[in-house]
Amino acid sequence: MSVQLHHRISGEGEPLILLHGLFGSLDNLGVIARGLQGNWQIHALDQRNHG
């Protein structure tokens, strides 16, 4: 059985993975990702059954 996870990749540099908390979604990580993408390659992931 395969699982499809929604994700966004932005920025350049060393990879940094962002995960949201309970009741969150990928959309909640946008502001944080924009602030960090100047120094990091951001991998923002939607947790299973959240997005």
Q: What is the pLDDT of residues 17-28, one digit of tens each?
A: 999 888 888 888
Nearest Cα neighbor of 29 from 15, 12, 9 is 9
Stronger pLDDT, 4 or 8, i.e. the higher one? 8
- H-type helices in 1-51, by residue range? 30-36
36's tokens? 């960090």
31 touches 10 (CB < 8 A) = no
Q: Which of the four pLDDT bands, split at 50, 70 and 90, describes residue 5?
A: confident
How many other CB atoms are found less than 10 A from the CB of residue 18? Answer: 18
